[in-house]
Structure 1
């Protein structure tokens, strides 16, 4: 068989050819691909993309702060409703006004200690709001349930005693300690991420050896050095600022808690005295200032004699938690926080039990236990303040 020549065109069989269009017709052109029309102008779409980038750049702390603010505001509305249900509107207003009187003195003492602790303002506001709103809401509800349970199973007198001396300190101190856990737990993560800095950029570029690990330049001149504390010693010994921060956070939380609790008890006392006065007037007796002896007695007991009681209890919890989170001694880290919480509960329980011992028993507990404990707290605050003021002097003396 001969092959076709290179210049010949191959013939296609008639069966394989496409059918020819009929005569007098024309092919319909395909639709053209049009450009998509923008729903929004170009500048508007750019603004939308910018807003999306800003929304994605929102971090978790901002969201958590907003959620915490809404939650605390809801607890504040709820606690006002609960207190108003027990005291009435007039009793609530009188209780709030009287509870405000000792507040500046307690906050002033904590502000003086905060010169060493340097607690941020947002943490201060959070602790006050937590103690005044969240902790009191939990305490009122849980104390009511615990009291009903104990009275139903142990009788009226024994149930009230067990509730005041055991259940109430456990519930209230745990509710206040929750704020300290929220604020102080990130300290452990920051301490674990702490590393040493390498040699400076200029020293690496010039080829100079880095400075010794035990020396740090603190001022101009070739001979001014101060020997820094090694990393292990910093971890093994808690600084006065850290201990003062735990004490301040605990005191602020308890200060807010005591404010709401004082408003509740003072409002109850005023409502009871007002009702007794109306009853005496209805019986024909002349009104006098002695009709409000219950309110005056409650204010003297809670506002004058023991305004630092709750801050003292919760300061022990904050001090123990600060030791646990910052110390390098393993045994102290395991013991400090539970010991501080248990000590605050025990002191709170003894203080509640002293109210049922009469005037002599109350004054005995007040003089032998509460006053020395408060004096120790004041001595600790003075020591922390002194250490803070002496630290720059020691650094200059070593130069």
Structure 2
């Protein structure tokens, strides 16, 4: 029996790996962490980021001796200044994407790992590879002598869009292949693609700002370096900080559609169409910024803002759409009697989820942790049900389904599902002053009921009319007659 059970366990683990489902890991916390492939993939990604960052630093920052003279770099004194200007555009965009990533069925540390990997890939790997390929392509497209004056724009219009969009989107394909079970909706593609584009824009802005500042500083007395830096910051960091994230979002949407599609044709065409759309938008942006000047440039900028508003509206629409989808899938379990009706309603509303976490936080760490586990498990259960109905997961998904239902029932007693009323805030009781205790008065005192003076010794005096003694009166007495 034990041999058969072990063989059955091995088969179940293989089936889960084949479907991309999480495989249960046994042992203590250290063993579970060391056997987690996501941890090692994240470590390998960060090592790659460091290598590309160091190579790009030595290529761009210090002055280098080249045949024919000295190639002036950005300089170590300029990097902190221009990095601060580049961060002004990076921070609000990344915070917006962090806020929009609300429906991923993973814990906080796994979600942060996804964010940092996508952001770091765009900032270091994609920028480094794009710089090498663009430089090589520009050298082959250049016209020597008094040739075509537009040769400097050829690489920016015809080469850079395809190179940069392909390098930025590469991390999306890696995540979709290795962790496709966590790619649950279109928001997943939008968030990861936008973060990769934001990281690329951050490093590219550092290069542009640094070159402009260093060139202005080298031309003594002609231009103020700070003024030049502020002008280019206004053009790139204020007017068009959304360009690279917006382009890469097209590739992310196409890949997200492919991951959740049943048709093999869609799985091939959707990523290709998304990538071509991203490259086409990038090409139009580079061509307009290079060749168009004056009022027409403002008109193009207005069109870019309209495109940005459409993208934001699409993201907000997807947030509400995912809530309705999660509720519809969880109601399947409610009708089967495996979940309660309040589970489908509470987990499908972002505001209710946040209020539940806030209430659980004041109930103690155990309640807070149980609430997190319950919300993540129910969200994963909804998307697992969607994968089962789409045919993306085979019978191995049923085993994971039963496992998630067991996790929900174990954590339900301590979790907050539907918060009601105010959160159980701790009562801040001030220090009370002691109240002086007076001795109870003797009852009744000479001052009457509740008197403060003790009554004389002896029997207690009667109360009411019986306490009054009247003298005898002649019964024949009457008022005198007139």
Alignment of 1:355-374 (within 5 A): 355-356=289-290, 357-368=292-303, 370-374=304-308
SS of 1:116's equivalent in the other structure is coil
1:104: which partner in 2?
91
Mapped partners of 2:166, 2:78: distance in 1: 28
Look up the SS of the partner of 1:351 in the other structure: helix
Q: How far, CA to CA, are the matches of 2:317 and 2:311 in structure 1?
A: 10
Question: Equivalents in 1 of 2:270, 2:300: separation in Å?
Answer: 25
For the pair 1:316 / 2:250, whether they are aligned, the reply is yes
Partner of 1:268: 211
Residue number in structure 1 paired with 2:101 = 114
Q: Give 3-state SS (helix, strand or coil) of 2:61's partner.
A: helix
Match of 1:144 in 2: 135
Q: How far did 1:97 drift?
A: 1.3
CA distance in structure 1 between the partners assigned to 2:76 and 2:172 by the alignment: 33
| Aligned twin of 2:335 | none
1:244 aligned to 2:187? yes
Tell me which moved more, 88-97 or 150-159: 150-159
| Residues 149-228 of structure 1: pairs in structure 2 closer than 5 A | 149-152=140-143, 155=147, 157-186=149-178, 190=181
Give the Cα–Cα distance (whole angstroms) in 2 for the partners of residues 167 and 363 of structure 1. Answer: 25
Q: CA separation of 1:393/1:67 partners in 2, compared to 1, >3 Å: closer, same or farther? A: closer
Contact kept in structure 1, 2:214 and 2:225, CA below 8 Å: no
Q: Deviations over 1:307-360 (max 9, x none)?
A: 111100011111101111111134432321111100100100111111121132
**Alpha-carbon distance in structure 2 between the residues aligned to 1:118 and 1:305:** 35
Give the Å deviation of 1:376. Answer: 1.7
1:388 to 319, 322, 331: 322
- Give the Å deviation of 1:63: 4.2
Instruction: Using structure 1 for the length normalisation, give the TM-score.
Output: 0.65
Q: Distance in 2 between matches of 1:253 and 1:185?
A: 17
Indicate conservation of the 8 Å contact 2:42/2:113, yes or no. no
- Single out whichever of 161-170 and 87-96 deviates more from structure 2: 87-96
Q: Is the 8 A contact 1:91 1:268 kept in 2?
A: no
Q: Is the 8 A contact 1:187 1:325 kept in 2?
A: no
How many Å separate the matches in 2 of 1:143 and 1:71?
21
Q: Which residue of 1 aligns with 2:55?
A: 78
Give unpaired runs (5+ residues) of structure 2.
1-30, 63-72, 332-340, 346-482
Higher helix share: 1
1:94 to 48, 64, 81: 81
> Does the Cα contact within 8 Å between 1:324 and 1:334 map onto a contact in 2?
yes
CA contact (8 A) 2:213 2:225 kept: no
Q: 1:293 and 1:358, CA in 2 relative to 1: closer, same or farther beyond 3 A? A: farther
Q: Aligned residue for 2:20?
A: none
For residues 267 and 342 of structure 1, the distance between their equivalents in structure 2, rounded to whole angstroms, comes to 31
- In the alignment, which residue of structure 2 is the partner of 1:304? 238
Aligned partner of 2:375 in structure 1 is: none
Query: SS at 2:241's partner residue?
Result: coil
Partner of 1:326: 260
- Higher-RCO chain (CA-CA 8 Å, sequence separation at least 6): 1
Tell me the secondary structure at the aligned position of residue 87 of structure 1: coil
8 Å CA contact 1:354–1:362 kept in 2: the answer is yes
Q: CA deviation at 1:258?
A: 0.6
**Any idea what SS the aligned residue of 1:358 has?**
coil
Confirm or deny: 8 A CA contact 1:273 1:293 kept in the other structure.
Answer: no
Q: Which runs of 5+ in 1 are unaligned?
A: 1-53, 192-238, 281-287
Rounded to whole Å, the distance in 2 between the matches of 1:59 and 1:94 is 40
Q: Secondary structure at the match of 1:296?
A: helix
C-alpha distance after superposition, 1:32-60 (max 9, x if no partner): xxxxxxxxxxxxxxxxxxxxxx8xx8565
Match of 1:15 in 2: none
Question: What is the alpha-carbon distance in structure 1 between the residues aligned to residue 53 and residue 79 of structure 2?
Answer: 14
Cα pair 1:113 1:248 within 8 Å, conserved: yes
Q: Distance in 1 between matches of 2:324 and 2:161?
A: 38
Cα distance change on mapping 1:319 and 1:392 into 2, 3 Å:
closer
CA–CA distance in 1 between the matches of 2:75 and 2:48?
25
Q: Distance in 2 between matches of 1:138 and 1:318?
A: 20
1:257 equivalent in structure 2: 200
